[in-house]
Amino acid sequence: DTAVSQTPKYLVTQMGNDKSIKCEQNLGHDTMYWYKQDSKKFLKIMFSYNNKELIINETVPNRFSPKSPDKAHLNLHINSLELGDSAVYFCASSQDGGSGELFFGEGSRLTVL
């Protein structure tokens, strides 16, 4: 039973489209995150949520809108996709925000053509 699951795993789309990535965790954690990994494997935090409340928004363009309907889910919606949005997006969760012990999903590879 997957602890942190993301869908879809692969996403290929055209510039200007809108797309969503879903994430669910069954660990009972309070905190969830979205990270972006670029082609050089560099990982950068985008958002973190604690009990459905936005805690960190790391200067991400407002085309990216996270939504947390409950503390087990954190979805990422991206409007007007650009070439530079191509990356692997990782969802993660942790029991609390300060421990640094994150559980990651397998990633969603987004390719914008």
| Residue ranges that bind another protein, judged by CB under 8 A | 4, 31, 33, 40-45, 48, 50, 55-56, 58, 90, 92, 96-107
Provide the minimum distance between the beta carbon of 40 and another protein in the complex, in angstroms, as a whole number: 7
CA 110 to chain centre: 11
Sequence-ordered list of residues with C-beta below 8 angstroms from that of 83, at least 6 positions apart, any chain: 15, 112
Nearest one of 3, 59, 60 to 32, comparing CA atoms = 3
Cβ nearer to another protein, comparing 32 with 112: 32
Provide the minimum distance between the beta carbon of 42 and another protein in the complex, in angstroms, as a whole number: 5
- Residue the block writes with tokens 């990535």: 21
Cβ nearer to another protein, comparing 12 with 43: 43
Cβ nearer to another protein, comparing 87 with 102: 102
Provide the minimum distance between the beta carbon of 49 and another protein in the complex, in angstroms, as a whole number: 9
Dist. CA 42–CA 21, nearest whole Å: 20
Cβ nearer to another protein, comparing 75 with 94: 94
Q: Which amino acid, 63?
A: R
Provide the minimum distance between the beta carbon of 12 and another protein in the complex, in angstroms, as a whole number: 17
Q: Do 92 and 103 meet the contact criterion of CB atoms below 8 Å apart?
A: yes
